[in-house]
Each structure stands twice: as structure tokens, then as C-alpha cells.
Amino acid sequence: MPSISTQDGTSIFYKDWGSGPPVLFSHGWPLNADAWDEQMVLVAEAGYRAIAHDRRSHGRSDQTWHGNHMDQYADDLAELIEQLDLHDAVLVGHSTGGGEVTRYMGRHGTSRVAKAVLLGAVPPLMLRTDANPDGLPIEAFDAIRQGVRSDRSQFYYDLTVPFYGGNRDGSTLTDGMRRAFWQWSMQAGHKGALDCIEAFSETDFTEDLRRITVPVLVAHGDDDQIVPIGASAHKAATLLPDATLKVYPGRPHGLAGEYAQEFNRDLLTFLRNGTTSEVSPMEAVSGGQRG
């Protein structure tokens, strides 16, 4: 399997499909690169080089006891980008992955980055504090920790319902989608998955966002039950120097069904033009294939 070895000897698995300008995807917790397969095929068929890695302690990467925190995730991403010698890359991060790419740009700069996409992303800060009263209380994250510790298999399976909006009228969540999410989640190392809860909930990305000068698409469903939009996308868009906020009415946290189709169209358009101008999916695909 393709992988890099980081400075601390950790093996990081990655996928590398297609050729052209690089688009690098970072996955959410507790998933892995497979969660991006649909988008990777989409952009590779449209003339881009699609790359996605398994974060340390997730998927096929090494399960480390130490280093499961946002600074190390960002440093691992930097080593992947440097070892693959990527330039003018578009970074796409979902949920925790949005925090990872944000910390990477804040910590390592944007000399190798053309633009970025934050989808349902955790920045600037999920935890409620005196300075961040719109965040979620620590008890919400303690409940996640308890669920993972007590019966992670059942917890991950149950998590699919709010993750994909399966508890909303008109939901098209299938059992196959739930099983796929569960399988990806069960590949995460137990220690790393627990550590990552603190990483995605308690890391403050405020200053990272302010340092990012490349164009950023901030995309978020306004019925996100995992990362509520008020404490995340709305605030992140005001902190970024060059942001476009795209709100998807009634859409959940995870990409599925019509939401995935909407985002896929906007992703291709943003890759081509740096905007999310309304075009038909066929126009977006054919235009991407030309470029």
C-alpha cells in the first residue's frame, strides 16, 4: 500500500488517483480516506490528481500511542505534501479534516496551497468557553468519549443517524451507508480515536484562520447536528481574509444523496473558477474534463 514515513517513524497511508493539479482530501473523525472515494473519482475524472490519506491512528495508517493531536496531524500533512512534492494544491477538509487543513495552513503556511475547502468543518472552536459562548458544552464531548469507551461498535453505528440526518423527515439514509460508516470507524485505533475527540473539540483555530490568505470555500449544512453551523462556518467565514460561505439549507453533517450531489457540483466549480456559481452537474463535469 502507498505510504510515507514521518519523522517520528509513523507510516501514513494515502491514495493517489489521476493526474493534473493536486486536490488533497482530509477526512473526518473517526473515518478514513475511503469516505472521500466518490469525490476522488469525481475530480480525477475531471482532470485533477486526487489524493487522500488516513490520519495517524485511523484506517491503514499506524496506530500511535502519542501524537494524536492537531499539531501532529498538521505536521503529518505537511510531510505528505512535501514528500509528494505538491504545489498549488487545493486542500479539502471535512469536519475534523477541516481542522487539520486549517492548522496545517496556520502552522506551515500556504506556499504550496492554491485554495482550500472547509466542509462541515470544526474551526474556529467547538467547545463552549467564556470567549466562545456559542460552542457546545464539555458534557457533549464527554458523552462521546463515554460512548466510544463503553461500546464503540454500537456507538459508531448509532452515530450514523445524526451524522447523515437519518432522524429527519425525508431522509434517504440507507443501511449500506450506515454499514460503510461503521466499517471505516472500526478501523480507527481505540486510543487514537479517543485522543482525537479532544483534538477536534478543544483546539482553537482562530489564529490559524486569520493567517490563511488563499481563497477558502466554507461549505456547511444548516441542519448539521454534529458541528452546528452557528459556532463554526458562520464564525470561520468572518475570520478568514478571503472566504466564500456556501450554506446548504436543511442539509446534515455527512455527505449523502442529494447533498453529496450538490457539494460535488460546487467542488468542481470551485476547483475550476474559485466560485460556486450555479451550473448543472453535467456542465461542471464536462468543463472540468476540458481543464
Question: 29-43: per-residue pLDDT in tens?
Answer: 999 999 999 999 999
pLDDT at 288 over 80: no
Q: What is the pLDDT of residue 274?
A: 75
pLDDT at 8 over 90: yes
For 45-49, 250-254, 284-288, which range has the lowest pLDDT when averaged over its residues? Answer: 284-288
Assign 1 a pLDDT band (cuts: 50, 70, 90).
Answer: confident
Q: State the pairing for strand pair 216-221/22-26.
A: unpaired
Distance of alpha carbon 93 from alpha carbon 238, whole angstroms:
18
For 159-173, 178-192, 205-219, 272-286, which range has the lowest pLDDT when averaged over its residues? Answer: 272-286
Q: CA dihedral defined by 42, 115, 111, 286, rounded to 10 degrees? A: 40
Q: Give the burial class of 280: count Cβ atoms within 10 A of its Cβ; 0-12 exposed, 13-18 middle, 19 or more buried.
A: exposed
Q: What is the CATH number of domain 3-290?
A: 3.40.50.1820
Distance of alpha carbon 223 from alpha carbon 286, whole angstroms:
31
Q: What is the pLDDT of residue 49?
A: 98
14, 26 contact by CB (below 8 A): no
* DSSP reduced 3-state for 182: helix
pLDDT in tens, 140-174: 999 999 999 999 999 999 999 999 999 999 999 99
In this prediction the pTM is 0.93
The percentage of the chain sitting over the pLDDT mark of 90, rounded to a whole number, equals 93
Catalytic residues: 95, 224, 253
Give which of 125, 83, 108 is closest to 233, Cα–Cα: 125
Average pLDDT over residues 172-191: 97
Q: What is the pLDDT of residue 291?
A: 28
Q: What is the pLDDT of residue 94?
A: 98
